[in-house]
Structure 1
């Protein structure tokens, strides 16, 4: 039986990543692309769509440090006080009848950027999941909670995830449910995380 191999070509506008398990096939694909298109080879992946990639003997590190710093400057939060948690413990965020509304467009832009950041900043994933529930009608309390996340990010803009080579690709998943815990609609709140090869991926 022949050895199974795979090849991945990922593109976004004019940026491209080629990866796979067969070096020979990668070389062939690159040769064909360079023959038919005007392209520049940046060698090993270092940066893609706001994500920094660093290799070391310990594994592959990914972070969005530059993205965070640009985000802080854009939101005018560079000089704000740092906090050590992205959200208050036992928060009671919900839609309150008659409460002051926040700037909807600004809130949506803020939350969209935080959602993208949560790809490498799993420490904010829960908090971002909460504030994203109020995109359709954000209120001042929701905006304040979103700003808390930004102030938390300011304390450690370069935090990163490491993917280690652990010698296996075992998939593990863990889940917990807060039964009827959503104060807005009494639906259950589900939390989960999964690991592949001992590395946290969601």
Structure 2
């Protein structure tokens, strides 16, 4: 999978394959055996200047909690930052992610908003949809207004 500056590699070192996620200069290495992961890291350090922050806890806006029985992913910090950027940090949670029966129209007399900020917020919401499928409809609903937000 290659997307702009990200890719995933399958590397065979030792007994099993490793999966290496690469985004710019950040790597995530995972595999079945810790010995193979350590060997891979030693090989990389021999060729590149690197640091090892240890067990993954935060990556690209995703919080990772490795618990005894489960691996849990979340985006609460990312969501908080997105709410702050949109001026909604103090908003109260609600059951529906959009005002009911809201009708948006391209031809409107409402004052235009900052298009760059609007696009940034909608882009952030698009990234958030990966973990919050309940907002997918709303994000799809507001996306057509990215070029002329009002």
TM range (shorter): 0.7 to 0.9
Matches within 5 A, 1:151-170: none
CA, structure 1 residues 84+33, in 2 after alignment: closer, same or farther (shift >3 Å)?
Answer: same
Q: Given that residues 16 and 36 in structure 2 are in contact (C-alpha distance below 8 angstroms), is that contact kept between their aligned partners in structure 1?
A: no
Asked if residue 115 in structure 1 is aligned to residue 126 in structure 2, the reply is yes
Q: Please point out which of 7, 10, 14 is paired with 2:25.
A: 14
User: What is the CA-CA distance between 1:110 and the residue it aligns to?
Assistant: 1.0
Asked if residue 52 in structure 1 is aligned to residue 63 in structure 2, the reply is yes
Q: TM-score, normalised by structure 2?
A: 0.74
Q: Please point out which of 87, 91, 96 is paired with 1:85.
A: 96
Higher relative contact order structure (alpha carbons within 8 Å, sequence separation ≥ 6): 1
Q: Which residue of 2 aligns with 1:99?
A: 109
User: Which deviations, in whole Å up to 9, do the C-alpha atoms of 1:108-154 show, x marking residues without a partner?
Assistant: 01111111122222221221122112212222xxxxxxxxxxxxxxx
Q: How many residues align?
A: 135
User: Which deviations, in whole Å up to 9, do the C-alpha atoms of 1:52-109 show, x marking residues without a partner?
Assistant: 00122341111111112222233332233443311234544342x2433332112101
| C-alpha distance in 2 between matches for 1:64 and 1:118 | 10
Unaligned runs of 5+ in 1: 140-202
RMSD of the alignment, in Å?
2.4
| C-alpha distance in 1 between matches for 2:69 and 2:139 | 29
Q: TM-score, normalised by structure 1?
A: 0.57
Q: Give the secondary-structure state (helix, strand or coil) at the position aligned to 1:38.
A: coil
Matches within 5 A, 1:108-187: 108-139=119-150
Unaligned runs of 5+ in 2: 1-14
| C-alpha distance in 2 between matches for 1:137 and 1:6 | 48
| C-alpha distance in 1 between matches for 2:18 and 2:105 | 46
